[in-house]
Structure 1
Amino acid sequence: MKVVIAIDSFKGSVSSLEGSEAIALGIRDVYPDSNIVILPLADGGEGTVQALVTATDGQLRTVQVTGPLKKPIQAAYGILGNGQTAVIEVAAACGLPLVPIENRNPLFTTTFGVGELILDAVRQGCREFVIGLGGSATNDAGIGMLQALGYRFRDEGGNLVGEGGEALLHISSIDTDHVCSELEQCIFKVACDVSNPLHGPDGAAYVFAPQKGADSAMVMTLDEGLARFANVVFQDLGITVQDIPGGGAAGGLGAAFSGFLKGELQSGIRLVMDALGMEDRLIGADLVITGEGRLDGQTSMGKAPLGIAQMAQKQGISVIALAGGVSKDASVLNELGITAYFPIVSGPMTLKQAMDQDETRDNLRRTMQQLFRMIRAFKID
């Protein structure tokens, strides 16, 4: 029996790899000789780097970059097993957890470190990039990243503007003379699961900046800056960044990647599965095991378990989904490719108990044991 295990992390409890290993143990308790393929999964957000590096026998690389508060930090990214593809979570360089609550101010925070990670990967020979947007502490339209890559943003007097969301208000022209030349050879695939535009009532400032420390006055200032930026980009480069679906993601990084680096914004889970070569990895599988911390109606909106289930369904492979908790509205998943789903919690317990790492690993292994005992009893192999 060939079983493919492709689960997302159970956030706050176990990583995708840890959970997969526990599931594999439960299967081998019943089928010791089974062929188990572990493909740690993520949807483009937290855990994407680790999942892709693990699945492709790649490597993690840690470098010093400029953090969101413009101070040096250590940030990690991955180079996949092919040695050509870098995978970067922007939150590693400008994530909200890197900024203490009292210091959260998107007028000030910068994405400069994201550009430094890209430059380091370019120096390592990478020309393909998988970028995970999300979790940023910034609202600078990606100018920090672009500044690190060599773009120069100038005010009306020809002086360089600073960094951060507030700097957008002062941009009058864009100088591309010093841009890293290797970028022309690079392909950027960007995981983006929101469709918000760069500015306006549904844009980066109004929708996301309050979560990053912005009050109502800051939101208005940031939105004005984003609009000014979009106008200057069109004026100087002939690029329309306002109409890009997802341009407002990560404080406008979506627009920067798409407009300046010709990045393709796409579904996070689809991007990750393509990077893993998931379709080929499923060939010959008898069963796929997927899952995440909670299965609910949101899972049907494009999260990891649904992505793998739909791909498996095309090959006629049954899919079992596991979760710490399952809501009533998860039943829609049976119509979308998940054959059956099961909660792994064995009885009443507190949320803290349910999320304990050892408890989760034990529950995953036990649930798999019981499911595969049933499979063996009915000889469904």
Structure 2
Amino acid sequence: MRIALIPDKFKGSLTATQVCDAMEAGIREAYPGAEIRRFAASDGGDGFLEAVRAVRPVEVVQALVTDPIGREITAPFLYDPRTGDAFIEMAKASGMEMLSPGERNPMRTDTRGTGQLILKAVQRGARHIFVGLGGSGTNDGGCGIASVFGYRFLDRDEQALLPAGGNLERIAHIVQPKDLPIPRQVRITAVNDVNNPLWGPQGAAQVYAAQKGASPEDIHRLDAGLQNLEERVREQLGVDSGSLPGAGAAGGTAFGLKCFLGADFTSGTNLVLRLNGFEHYLSKHKTAYVFTGEGRIDAQTLNGKLIQGVLQLASAQKCPVVAICGKCDAPMDALKSLGFEAVLEVSDPRKSLDYAMAHAHELVAEAVQGFLQQNK
């Protein structure tokens, strides 16, 4: 029996590699001789660098940057000297998980650290820079990144503003750098899998800012600030990108990358599935099952996420897909109608969330073993 594994992380519990370990343990109990192939996975957010390192011979470069509240830290990026490609994971420099609960405040945080990583990659000689978005603790519309490259943001009194989310509503004038320190031949690609516009009911602030520490009043101001930023960019830079699907990714960082640095957008899932050879493998090898999954399956799961990409590619090869999750908040019937062979929820409603997270490895292994034994 041949089985492919391509799960996402179970956030706060297991990395994607650890989920694979648990799945493999369950498979070995049911089919000791199974041929198992693992594939690194990411949608461009947390784990992006890990997914790239698994399939590309790259250098890990450490850079001194600032975190979302201005502390100096060391953050990595990947560089492939053969191709000139560089890979940056925003969460490593501007991530929410870098902040304690009391430090999380998207009114004050910024993306300068991510901009510093991009600049370091340019200085290293990168010709194509992929910036994986996701897991950010920011909502500054990419202004922090822009400030690293010489952009300045002024209020009505021509006073300089710090490039934080809470100042976006005060921006009256954007001063462009005379010479952008990026050679024209350098291409920047924002890697993400969300379709949110910059502002509005489905925008960056209203959908994601609460989980980054914003109060209801903060969310209103952040949303108004992003709208103001879009208007100033359109008026003064001649770029109209706020309504583009994905512009609201990572607190509007995708918007900023496009407007200030000329970035294009690409799907993180599609990029990683191209890099890791998943589609090619399924086309060449008859595979009994593909096991995928994530910590929580809900209405957002099939909105441009990893599991959607896996399901589409596997279904095209008529390969059954089994999804494993800690918690399922979507109707099972609806998920099966989309093409899943099964969706296995591993948490026990009689036990606490803390228990499920602490015993995630055993629960995943048992779920996989049970499914395979039932379907022999």
Same fold, judged at TM 0.5 (above): yes
| Distance across 1 between alignment mates of 2:249 and 2:101 | 21
Can you list the C-alpha shifts for 1:50-77, whole angstroms capped at 9, x where unaligned? 2332344545443221121122123234
State the 1:214 CA deviation: 4.5
Residues 320 and 282 of structure 1: is their aligned pair in 2 closer, same or farther, counting only changes over 3 Å?
same
Which residue identity is paired with 2:141?
A
Residues 328 and 209 of structure 1: is their aligned pair in 2 closer, same or farther, counting only changes over 3 Å?
closer
Which residue identity is paired with 1:340?
A
Which residue identity is paired with 2:194?
D
**Which range is displaced more, 138-147 or 91-100?**
91-100
The answer for the alignment partner of 2:109 in structure 1 is 109
| Distance across 2 between alignment mates of 1:6 and 1:47 | 13
Query: After superposition, where does 1:26-175 map in structure 2 within 5 Å?
Result: 26-29=26-29, 31-56=31-56, 58=58, 60-79=60-79, 84-153=84-153, 161-168=161-168, 169-175=170-176
Query: Any conservation in 2 of the 1:140–1:165 contact (CA below 8 Å)?
Result: yes
| Distance across 2 between alignment mates of 1:231 and 1:95 | 27
Query: Any conservation in 1 of the 2:208–2:251 contact (CA below 8 Å)?
Result: yes
Residues 279 and 76 of structure 1: is their aligned pair in 2 closer, same or farther, counting only changes over 3 Å?
same
Listed as ranges, the gaps of 5+ residues in structure 2 are: none
The answer for the alignment partner of 2:332 in structure 1 is 330
The answer for the alignment partner of 1:3 in structure 2 is 3
What is the count of residue pairs matched by the alignment? 373
Listed as ranges, the gaps of 5+ residues in structure 1 are: none
Q: Secondary structure at the match of 1:22?
A: helix
The answer for the alignment partner of 2:313 in structure 1 is 311
Can you list the C-alpha shifts for 1:335-380, whole angstroms capped at 9, x where unaligned? 2232223344689543322222xx33233334444444566x5xxx
**Which range is displaced more, 36-45 or 345-354?**
345-354
**Which range is displaced more, 66-75 or 80-89?**
80-89
Query: Any conservation in 2 of the 1:300–1:333 contact (CA below 8 Å)?
Result: no
Query: Any conservation in 1 of the 2:116–2:148 contact (CA below 8 Å)?
Result: yes
| Distance across 1 between alignment mates of 2:277 and 2:81 | 12
| Distance across 2 between alignment mates of 1:328 and 1:247 | 26
Q: Secondary structure at the match of 1:353?
A: helix
State the 1:80 CA deviation: 6.6
Query: Any conservation in 2 of the 1:195–1:247 contact (CA below 8 Å)?
Result: yes
Can you list the C-alpha shifts for 1:79-135, whole angstroms capped at 9, x where unaligned? 479764333332322223334444444343221111111122233443333333333
Which residue identity is paired with 1:42?
S
Can you list the C-alpha shifts for 1:186-208, whole angstroms capped at 9, x where unaligned? 130420414233x4565444554
Query: Any conservation in 1 of the 2:126–2:186 contact (CA below 8 Å)?
Result: no
| Distance across 2 between alignment mates of 1:293 and 1:173 | 41
TM-score relative to the length of structure 2:
0.83
State the 1:295 CA deviation: 3.8
Residues 213 and 373 of structure 1: is their aligned pair in 2 closer, same or farther, counting only changes over 3 Å?
closer
State the 1:155 CA deviation: 5.9
The answer for the alignment partner of 1:193 in structure 2 is 194
Query: After superposition, where does 1:136-285 map in structure 2 within 5 Å?
Result: 136-153=136-153, 161-168=161-168, 169-182=170-183, 184-197=185-198, 199-200=199-200, 203-215=203-215, 218-219=218-219, 221-283=221-283, 284-285=285-286
Q: Secondary structure at the match of 2:54?
A: helix
**Which range is displaced more, 157-166 or 16-25?**
157-166
Query: Any conservation in 2 of the 1:3–1:285 contact (CA below 8 Å)?
Result: no
| Distance across 1 between alignment mates of 2:106 and 2:10 | 30
Residues 282 and 180 of structure 1: is their aligned pair in 2 closer, same or farther, counting only changes over 3 Å?
farther
Residues 299 and 68 of structure 1: is their aligned pair in 2 closer, same or farther, counting only changes over 3 Å?
closer
